[in-house]
Structure formats: structure tokens, C-alpha cells
């Protein structure tokens, strides 16, 4: 790897860390603005002023906000995300399994959705403006236009209720055999795939079509290459940067945006965890989940940026 | 005799008719005919030059010989017989087998025609491997031999490079090697040297000519430059508006053209402009300007000084990257110089555009190379020309319209154009509107940045004539930036030759263009193609002698 690339990559990573810090400040500040504090929440309505004051002293709530922020941040950096108020459990410990579940679901949805979207995009370009293109675009757009919960319930109705091929409730537990686990996540993974497919497919199509106008594509056609070879060998490598970008955005969505799908299928992932604790007004959990989501989002976007940099031959092979 | 010729015929195009569907704004789509019943024959190993202005159909015919139509272009009639069979009957499969094997294509801009994502060698041998005419090793060996023949530096390793790592002139040669690599019978050269600097063009032209001669490949050589085509082709076909004008041997076409239009093409550039003696005091003086882009320390302008006199033309000539447009940007304040001053009417001009009062802005106007992107496509000609009238003089309503009409008369277009949009104008008309817009401000100086480079020779000639007439009427001075020495000769009073950010030669036209020359000006002048058979060989020989003498 040459030095200009390393420099750009280092820049992106530094920017990402800075951004994450900024987000942590926002999350912390956001939860501070809410009325009431942790002591109030723990002791409830009937708390006496004395017990409140005692607990505040005990929890260090009387310190200035920035000290509390750094205490919290210090905990996060060392892996201590704090304690959930509602259950008194360690957040990091209870989140571990759920984060794993969410990543597992997102991974399998991505394994299906990304290649499918790109291949459909390539096919749409090959038969552009013909009926194949219109059919692909139409179906993909339709599947995106329906809200996730609708798609989710339609899938449940057909595959769980009517034909009973897959379970309608995606219960997973530790030590569950892989095969059963896969069967359990089939419907939520399908719902997620349908939701993210169109965006990636449309972007792939647009990015490649953009490149199809260039002179080197004409050169390739004039060499006698078949239409697919032209797209695959000459157009696709030059359209890769925008495609990676949209793929990463959608991967981020698969992890961060699964809330609705997880709730529908009662899947024990991060989204459900978040929703549960929002209803319980469990601020430390909401903070922790928010921060994890932000970290996922930012890192995926950094990866997209870096991939786009590495994909550029001008940067990879400087003069 | 006729039989013998028939045997050696490679390409026989009969009554070719090519149509396209266009979508004019606000009108229903309509069919236009790009090529009307053109027929031609090309013998094996011969070079036919196709020449004409833009829209003449020369590229369209060239691509038709590969069964290819750009965009919505369709071949709707006639036959294209290559190696004895009509390729138009072969269908898509047939075209694919023919392209890259029997016929290859060399595009105008190799820089755009190479895929930035792949190494040169992979692209050069791609067609050969695709058609299975040689193994990879054999094809690469052939490619290296071709790189050598085309005098590319480091022929063994240049194939490992990516397109952006190689200069424009070298890329054009690599593209020629790419076309020759699969040993085709015919190569279509589509303006292969037009995008190059004149000093680079001559080497590429010589390399292409040698390669054609040594490999016995036949070629269709498409260009708008008659002087260039005269160097490489055996026969020349002149086209206009998709119709054949004249077809003959190269000598006959350039020495004894039979058609009036051919004659006009041959005798283009014959504008006479008597050089004026510089006045006593220049109204605009550029003193020791140094400039760089961004925070880089690469100086794009180094210590440049020139003077401009009222009502006269200073031509700034040089290759791309010589800093001529940057000089214009420094004078207008778009790029504030790091050192040096621009004096106007005896007082210094503010460095930055934003610091200049309106009156200073009015005195310096600009016209650009690309007239169509220099105008708002959603404004009418009347609005475009009227805008400086409102902005600088506060003219409104009828007064403004009257002045717009007057300006339209000056540019020989008339007030019928007031309500037209730029998209409805030809290239030459667009540039005229830009001229009118700059004149509307009644400036003392108009900076013309390659204003005729994107235009066909005859249209460009019209623009130059117009500029000279307007100069007489309005006493406006021009700073005329160009890479074209013929243009310089026809309109300049004084000339500054720029090379790598410096003015290497400066003075009255008669002095600058008279020997003894400095090395660079000599190279520049000797590189301009002349409409004379054998000029190329003479020029190359002259150069070798010069470099041997060094």
C-alpha cells in the first residue's frame, strides 16, 4: 500500500473517531435534558427528599455534567456500559447476546440481499428500458414501498399461518442448533431483504448506467465484447465506489434499523432491547444502545469510504 | 484492370443511409438523416481520409464500417461490404465477431477511451484474446513489438501502467497499438490527433503513418484538419451535411479542388490582418506576475509581464499547461496572483475579483471556449445579452431591447434571435451571442480564451473576421488565448509565446514570427501541419537534424 492511500485512510478513521465522540456528547446531553434523573426514576413517586439526596450523592449525580460525561465515557471505553435501572443487570453483559443475535440476522439478510441486488442491477442494465428492466425495477420498488411491518405480517400470514413452513415467532436461545436458528430467522431475514433490496439495486443500476456513457465502454463494445462482458469487465469496476456506498448504508440499516422487524417477530436482538427499555424509560440502556448503533453506522460508512478510496486506481497506483 | 481492383477491394460501402431520432426541446421526436446515399471503396492497405466539418457524418460513416451506431443512430439503407460480405446482414453476433478482429477503432481521446480501472496491457490484448487469434503470451509479445514500433518509452514495461500514469500523446500511441494488435484488415482512426498539442501531434502522426505503412493495414482516417489528412492518406473524401462533396487523390484535392466547398476548406485561414504599431502607452500592464493554484508551491505563472494597447490584439500562444488561461484568470482577478501587479489606466487593479469596483469589472470581459456552457440554457438570447446592459448601465424595457437588437445586428444575427434559447443555436451562433454579451458592457478589453477551438474551421474563420471588424468599430482590445498558430498569424498585433508558465518570446507579430527563433518557438512553428504532401517527413527530418545538432 502506498503512502497517499494510508494517509487518506488514517484521515477517515480519525474523522470517524471524532464523529463518534461528538455523537456520544449528543447522546449524553439528550438524556440530561429529559426531566427527572436516575435517582428519581429508581426511587419512584414516593421518594422522600432525603432519600433522593442520599442516592444522588451515592450515584455521583451532584457532580457537574462534564465530569459525569467523562465518567460515563471512561466506562464505555473500558467496556462498562453501566447498569440497567429497570433490572439492575449489567448492560454490557445482557447486550452481548442480543448484539450477536442482531448481527447474525443482519449478516444472513446481507448475504442474500447484497449479491441479489447487484446481480439484479446488472441484469437491469443489460436489458435497460426493456420489459425485464421494468419488471425488476417495479418489483423492487414495490417491495420497498410497503412498510416493513406490512411485509412482515404478509410473510407471517403465508409462511407461518397458512402453509406453516417457517415459525412466525423467531425465538432463538443460547446453544440452539445452527439449522434451527436459520429456520427461525428465515422470515425476518426475508422481510429485511425485501426492504433493502430495491435501494441497492436501483443504485447499482444508476451507477453502472452512468459509466455506460463513457468512451471506454464504447471502446469495449468496438472490440466485440458481449453486452454482459462490457458491463462486468468495463462498467462495473468503475461504478464500484457508489455501489459500495449504498451497500454499506443498507448494511447499517440492517443492524440499526431492524427495530420494527425484531418487534414483529419477537426476535431477541438489539432493536427489541431498545424498544423495551424506551418504554421503561431506562436511560442508561438507551444511551448504551444509541452509542452502539452510532458506532456501527459510523464504522460501516468509514469502511465504505476506505473501499471507495482503495477502488480508485489513481490513488492505488499514483504516478 | 477493373477486375484487379475488385479483387483488392477491402471495404465497399454502397448507398449508405444513416438516420437518427432526435428529441428537440418542446417538440415531438423527429427523424433526421445523417448520411445520404454515400458510397466509397477502399483497397487493401490504402488510407482514405474522410474530411468535413462537424455534422458532416464522417465519424458516423467510420463507425458504420463496424456496424456501430452511437446513441440512437441507425443504418437504414445500403450495404457495407467488408472482405466480400455484407456485414449489415450478420446481425449482432456477426458484428461482435468482426469488431476488434477485422476492423479496429482508434478514438479521438485515448485518455477517455481507455478504462481507468485496468492496466494498459490487459486492454491492448483484450480483443485478440477475445477472438482467440493468439495466446496471451503471443499477443503480449506482439503488443510490445508494436509499442516499440510506435516509439513508446519503455516498451517492455509500459503495458504494466494504468492509463492515468501515461501522457496523452503516449496513450494515443498505445491505442493505435491496441488497434493493430489483433492484426485487423481495417482501422478506423477517428480524429486521433485532434486532442493533442501541436508539438505532440506531429510525433503521433508520424508514428501512426509508419505503423500503417509497415503493417499494410487499410485505414479510414477521419479528421476535420485537411493539413493533417494530407500527410497520411492516399485518397481524400470531402463530406458535408452527410453528403459526398468530392472524392479524389490527395494531391488533386489539395492542389486542384473541383468543388467550391473543398476550395473553401483548402483556403481557410487566409485572413489578412495588417499588424498595427503599438501605441505609446499601454492601458493594461501585467508586471512580473507569479501565481499558483491552491496551497501548492508549483508556480503556474512565473514572472509574467505583458502590455496591452488600446484597440489592439495580444495573442498568447502555448500548449496545454503552459499557463495561458491562468494568465487570463490572474488578470481578471479570478486567481489572485501571489506576486506582481496588473495596472489599468495607470492605476493598480485589486488582486481579488471581489475587491474590484463594478466599473473595473465592466472594462474587462471574457469569452470562453465552450459557448454552450457559458450561457444559461434557460435564458433567451435577449435575456443573456440584456443582463450586462441592466447590470452596468441600468437599461430597462424598450431602451434595453433596442440596444440588444443593435448588438445582435453587430454580430450579424439580427433581432429575430431575441427569443431563441441557446439550444436552438448553432455552435458559431452561440459564440456570437457570447461576443455580443461581452460587447454589451462596452469594455476596453475582451479576453478571448480559445474562442474558436471548438468550432469548425469555416465557422471559426467567420468568428475571427467578426472579431476583427468589431475591433475596428469599437476600438476594443483583445487578449487572445489560443494554441493555434494559424489563428495567431491571422489576427494578432503582438504575440506572447508561453511555455511552462513563462513567456519565452514576446513582441510585435512580425518580430516574434521572424527568425532567429528560440528553441521552443522553433519547435512550435515547425510542428504546425502545412497543407503540403510530404510536409510531415520534412518536419520530422528537420527535427532530427536539430536534435542531432544539439
pLDDT of residue B549 exceeding 90: no
Buried b (16+ CB within 10 A) or exposed e, B437-460: bbbbbebbbbbbbbbbebbbbebb
In sequence order, which residues have a C-beta less than 8 Å from that of residue A231 and are 6 or more positions away? A122, A125, A126, A208, A212
Q: Which residues of A touch B109 (CB under 8 A)?
A: 215
| Yes or no, beta carbons of B105 and A222 under 8 Å apart | yes
In a domain, B212, yes or no: yes
Q: Which residues of B touch A129 (CB under 8 A)?
A: none
pLDDT of residue B481 exceeding 90: yes
Report ipTM for this prediction. Answer: 0.79
| Yes or no, beta carbons of A223 and B98 under 8 Å apart | no
Mean pLDDT of chain B: 88
pLDDT of residue B366 exceeding 90: yes
In chain B the first and final C-alpha atoms are separated, in Å, by 52
Closest Cβ opposite residue A223 in set B100, B161, B164: B100
pLDDT at B548: 54
The verdict on B106 touching A (C-beta cutoff 8 Å) is no
B17 DSSP β-pair partners = B77
% chain A with pLDDT above 90: 18
Binning pLDDT at 50, 70 and 90, where does residue B24 land?
low
Residues B431 and B299 in one domain: yes
pLDDT of residue B2 exceeding 60: no
| Euclidean distance between CA atoms A46 and B548, whole angstroms | 103
Binning pLDDT at 50, 70 and 90, where does residue B489 land?
confident
The verdict on B157 touching A (C-beta cutoff 8 Å) is no
| Yes or no, beta carbons of A221 and B130 under 8 Å apart | no
In a domain, B523, yes or no: no
Binning pLDDT at 50, 70 and 90, where does residue B307 land?
very high
B437-471 pLDDT, tens digit per residue, is 999 999 999 999 989 888 888 888 888 989 999 99
pLDDT at B7: 67
B365 DSSP β-pair partners = B446
For chain A, what's the residue count? 319
Q: What's the average model confidence in pLDDT over A4-29?
A: 89
pLDDT at A2: 55
B70-121 pLDDT, tens digit per residue, is 877 889 988 999 988 898 888 888 899 999 999 999 998 888 899 999 999 9
Residues B201 and B289 in one domain: no
pLDDT at A84: 78
pLDDT at B269: 60
The verdict on B252 touching A (C-beta cutoff 8 Å) is no
pLDDT of residue B27 exceeding 80: no
| Euclidean distance between CA atoms A217 and B107, whole angstroms | 12
pLDDT of residue B225 exceeding 80: yes
pLDDT at B503: 92
B259 DSSP β-pair partners = none
Domain ranges of chain A: 99-275
Residues B249 and B302 in one domain: no
Mean pLDDT of chain A: 85
Q: Which residues of A touch B222 (CB under 8 A)?
A: none
Shortest CA gap B427–chain A (Å): 23
B36 DSSP β-pair partners = none
The verdict on B165 touching A (C-beta cutoff 8 Å) is yes
| Yes or no, beta carbons of B164 and A226 under 8 Å apart | no
pLDDT at B1: 45
The verdict on B171 touching A (C-beta cutoff 8 Å) is no
In a domain, B535, yes or no: no
The verdict on B112 touching A (C-beta cutoff 8 Å) is yes
Q: How many structural domains is chain B composed of?
A: 2
C-alpha cell at B396: 430597462
Which H or E run includes B285?
strand B284-292
Q: Which residues of A touch B117 (CB under 8 A)?
A: 234, 237-238, 313
Residues B219 and B361 in one domain: no
Q: Which residues of A touch B162 (CB under 8 A)?
A: 313-314, 317
Residues B216 and B320 in one domain: no
pLDDT of residue A1 exceeding 60: no
Neighbour tally for A12: CB within 10 Å: 18
Q: What architecture does CATH give domain A99-275?
A: Orthogonal Bundle (1.10)
- Dihedrals φ, ψ of A114, to 5°? -65, -55
* Residue range of the domain that includes B36: 2-266
Q: What's the average model confidence in pLDDT over A204-216?
A: 90
Nearest CA to B11 among B51, B48, B50, B49? B48
Mapping DSSP onto H, E and C, the string for B239-269 reads EECCEEEEEEEHHHHHHCCCCHHHHHHHCCC
List, as ranges, residues 27-86 from B with C-beta within 8 Å of A: 63, 66, 68, 70
Shortest CA gap B129–chain A (Å): 10
Q: Kindly write down the DSSP assignment for every residue of B388-421, as one continuous string.
A: HHHHHH---HHHHHHHHHHHHHHTT--GGGTT--
| Yes or no, beta carbons of A222 and B68 under 8 Å apart | yes
Nearest CA to A143 among A188, A207, A204, A192? A192
Closest Cβ opposite residue A216 in set B96, B112, B164: B112
Do B523 and B308 contact (CB within 8 A), yes or no? Answer: no
| Euclidean distance between CA atoms A318 and B333, whole angstroms | 33
pLDDT of residue B129 exceeding 60: yes
Residues B244 and B304 in one domain: no
B391 burial via Cβ count (<10 Å: 0-12, 13-18, 19+): middle
Q: Kindly write down the DSSP assignment for every residue of chain A, as one continuous string.
A: --HHHHHHHHHHHHHHHHHHHHHHHHHHHHHHHSSS-HHHHHH-TT--HHHHHHHHHHHTTTS-HHHHHHHHHHHHHTT---B-TTT--BHHHHHHHHHHHHHHHHHHHHHHHHHHHHHHHHHHHHTTTSHHHHHHHHHHHHHHHS-HHHHHHHHIIIIIIIS--S-SS----TT--HHHHHHHHHHHHHHHHHHHHHHHHHHHHHHHHHHHTSHHHHHHHHTT--HHHIIIIIIHHHHHHHHHHHHHHHHHHHHHS-HHHHHHTT--SHHHHHHHHHHTT-HHHHHHHHHHHHHHHHHHHHHHHHHHHHH-HHHHS--
In a domain, B118, yes or no: yes
| Euclidean distance between CA atoms B285 and A238, whole angstroms | 47
Residues B299 and B348 in one domain: yes
Do A265 and A170 contact (CB within 8 A), yes or no? Answer: yes
In a domain, B122, yes or no: yes
Q: Which residues of B touch A221 (CB under 8 A)?
A: 68, 99
Residues B51 and B177 in one domain: yes
| Euclidean distance between CA atoms A187 and A178, whole angstroms | 16
B136-172 pLDDT, tens digit per residue, is 999 999 999 999 988 888 899 999 999 988 888 889 8
Do B395 and B389 contact (CB within 8 A), yes or no? Answer: yes
Count contacts between A and B (CB, < 8 Å): 75
Q: What CATH number is associated with residue B55?
A: 3.40.50.300
A132-189 pLDDT, tens digit per residue, is 999 998 988 888 888 888 888 888 889 888 888 888 788 887 778 888 888 888 899 9
Mutation test of the interface with chain B: which of A223, A233, A319, choosing the one with the most B Cβ atoms within 10 A?
Answer: A223
Which H or E run includes B515?
none
The verdict on B131 touching A (C-beta cutoff 8 Å) is yes
Q: What's the average model confidence in pLDDT over A217-227?
A: 92
Place of cell 472579431: B467
Cα-Cα-Cα-Cα dihedral sign, residues B92, B98, B100, B103: negative
Amino acid at each position: 500500500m502506498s503512502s497517499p492511500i494510508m494517509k487518506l485512510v488514517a484521515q477517515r478513521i480519525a474523522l470517524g473517531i471524532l464523529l463518534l465522540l461528538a455523537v456520544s456528547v449528543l447522546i449524553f446531553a439528550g438524556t440530561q435534558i429529559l426531566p427527572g434523573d436516575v435517582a428519581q426514576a429508581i426511587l419512584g413517586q414516593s421518594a422522600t427528599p432525603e432519600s433522593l439526596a442520599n442516592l444522588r450523592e451515592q450515584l455521583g449525580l451532584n457532580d457537574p455534567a462534564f465530569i459525569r460525561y467523562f465518567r460515563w465515557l471512561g466506562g464505555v471505553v473500558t467496556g462498562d456500559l453501566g447498569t440497567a435501572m429497570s433490572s439492575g443487570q449489567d448492560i454490557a453483559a445482557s447486550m452481548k447476546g442480543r448484539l450477536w443475535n442482531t448481527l447474525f440476522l443482519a449478516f444472513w439478510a446481507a448475504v442474500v440481499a447484497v449479491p441479489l441486488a447487484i446481480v439484479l442491477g446488472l441484469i437491469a442494465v443489460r436489458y435497460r428500458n426493456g420489459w425485464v428492466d421494468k419488471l425488476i425495477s417495479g418489483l423492487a420498488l414495490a417491495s420497498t414501498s410497503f412498510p416493513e411491518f406490512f411485509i412482515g405480517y404478509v410473510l407471517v400470514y403465508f409462511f407461518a399461518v397458512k402453509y406453516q413452513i417457517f415459525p412466525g415467532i423467531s425465538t432463538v436461545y443460547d446453544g440452539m442448533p445452527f439449522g434451527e436458528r436459520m429456520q427461525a430467522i428465515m422470515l425476518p431475514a426475508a422481510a429485511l431483504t425485501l426492504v433493502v433490496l430495491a435501494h441497492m439495486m436501483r443504485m447499482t443500476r444508476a451507477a453502472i448506467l452512468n459509466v455506460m456513457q463513457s468512451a471506454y465502454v464504447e471502446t469495449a463494445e468496438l472490440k466485440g465484447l458481449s453486452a454482459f462482458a462490457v458491463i462486468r469487465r468495463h462498467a462495473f469496476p468503475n461504478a464500484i465506489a457508489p455501489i459500495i456506498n449504498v451497500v454499506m448504508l443498507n448494511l447499517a440499516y440492517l443492524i440499526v434499523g431492524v427495530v420494527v422487524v425484531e418487534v414483529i417477530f419477537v426476535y431477541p436482538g438489539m432493536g427489541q432491547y431498545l424498544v423495551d427499555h424506551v418504554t421503561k424509560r431506562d436511560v442508561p440502556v438507551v444511551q448504551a444502545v444509541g452509542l452502539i448503533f452510532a458506532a456501527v453506522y459510523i464504522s460501516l460508512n468509514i469502511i465504505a469510504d476506505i473501499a471507495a478510496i482503495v477502488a480508485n486506481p489513481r490513488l492505488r497506483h499514483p504516478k | 484492370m477493373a477486375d484487379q481492383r475488385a479483387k483488392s477491394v477491402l471495404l465497399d460501402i454502397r448507398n449508405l443511409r444513416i438516420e437518427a431520432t432526435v428529441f428537440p426541446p418542446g417538440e415531438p421526436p423527429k427523424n433526421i438523416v445523417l448520411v445520404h446515399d454515400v458510397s466509397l471503396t477502399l483497397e487493401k492497405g490504402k488510407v482514405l481520409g474522410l474530411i468535413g466539418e462537424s455534422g458532416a457524418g464522417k465519424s458516423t460513416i467510420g463507425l458504420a464500417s463496424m456496424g456501430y451506431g452511437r446513441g440512437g443512430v441507425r443504418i437504414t439503407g445500403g450495404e457495407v461490404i467488408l472482405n466480400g460480405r455484407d456485414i449489415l446482414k450478420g446481425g449482432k453476433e456477426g458484428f461482435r465477431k468482426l469488431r476488434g478482429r477485422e476492423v479496429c477503432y482508434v478514438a479521438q481521446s485515448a485518455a477517455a477511451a481507455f478504462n481507468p480501472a485496468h492496466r494498459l496491457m490487459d486492454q491492448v490484448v483484450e480483443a485478440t484474446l477475445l477472438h482467440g487469434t493468439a495466446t496471451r503470451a503471443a499477443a503480449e509479445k506482439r503488443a510490445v513489438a508494436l509499442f516499440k514500433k510506435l516509439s513508446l518509452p519503455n516498451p517492455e514495461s509500459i503495458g504494466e501502467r494504468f492509463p492515468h500514469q501515461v501522457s496523452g500523446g503516449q496513450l494515443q500511441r498505445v491505442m493505435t497499438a491496441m488497434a493493430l494488435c489483433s492484426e485487423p484488415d481495417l482501422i478506423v482512426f477517428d480524429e486521433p490527433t485532434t486532442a493533442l498539442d501541436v508539438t505532440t501531434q506531429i510525433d503521433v502522426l508520424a508514428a501512426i503513418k509508419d505503423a500503417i505503412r509497415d503493417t499494410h493495414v487499410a485505414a479510414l482516417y477521419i479528421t476535420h484538419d485537411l493539413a493533417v489528412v494530407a500527410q497520411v492518406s492516399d485518397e481524400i473524401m470531402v463530406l458535408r451535411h452527410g453528403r459526398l462533396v468530392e472524392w479524389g487523390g490527395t494531391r488533386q484535392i489539395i492542389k486542384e479542388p473541383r468543388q467550391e466547398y473543398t476550395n473553401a476548406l483548402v483556403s481557410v485561414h487566409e485572413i489578412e490582418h495588417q499588424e498595427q504599431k503599438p501605441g505609446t502607452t499601454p492601458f493594461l500592464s501585467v508586471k512580473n506576475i507569479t501565481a499558483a493554484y491552491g496551497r501548492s508551491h508549483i508556480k503556474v505563472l512565473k514572472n509574467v509581464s505583458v502590455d496591452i494597447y488600446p484597440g489592439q490584439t495580444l495573442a498568447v500562444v502555448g500548449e496545454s499547461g503552459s499557463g495561458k488561461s491562468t494568465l487570463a484568470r490572474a488578470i481578471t482577478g479570478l486567481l489572485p496572483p501571489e506576486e506582481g501587479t496588473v495596472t489599468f489606466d495607470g492605476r493598480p487593479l485589486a488582486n481579488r475579483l471581489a475587491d474590484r469596483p463594478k466599473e473595473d469589472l465592466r472594462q474587462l470581459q471574457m469569452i470562453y471556449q465552450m459557448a454552450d456552457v457559458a450561457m444559461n440554457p434557460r435564458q433567451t438570447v435577449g435575456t443573456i445579452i440584456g443582463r450586462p446592459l441592466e447590470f452596468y448601465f441600468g437599461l430597462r424595457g424598450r431602451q434595453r431591447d433596442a440596444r440588444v437588437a443593435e448588438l445582435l445586428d453587430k454580430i450579424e444575427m439580427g433581432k429575430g434571435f431575441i427569443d431563441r434559447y441557446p439550444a436552438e443555436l448553432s455552435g458559431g451562433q452561440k459564440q456570437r451571442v457570447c461576443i455580443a454579451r461581452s460587447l454589451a458592457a462596452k469594455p476596453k478589453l475582451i479576453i478571448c480564451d480559445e474562442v474558436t477551438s471548438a468550432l469548425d474551421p469555416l465557422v471559426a474563420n467567420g468568428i475571427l473576421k467578426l472579431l476583427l471588424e468589431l475591433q475596428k468599430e469599437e476600438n476594443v482590445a483583445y487578449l487572445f488565448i489560443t494554441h493555434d498558430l494559424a489563428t495567431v498569424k491571422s489576427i494578432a498585433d503582438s504575440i506572447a509565446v508561453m511555455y511552462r508558465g513563462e513567456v519565452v518570446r514576446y513582441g510585435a507579430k512580425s518580430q516574434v514570427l521572424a527568425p532567429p527563433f528560440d528553441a521552443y518557438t522553433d519547435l512550435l512553428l515547425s510542428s504546425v501541419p502545412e497543407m503540403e504532401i510530404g510536409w510531415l517527413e520534412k518536419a520530422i527530418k528537420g527535427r532530427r537534424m536539430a536534435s542531432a545538432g544539439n
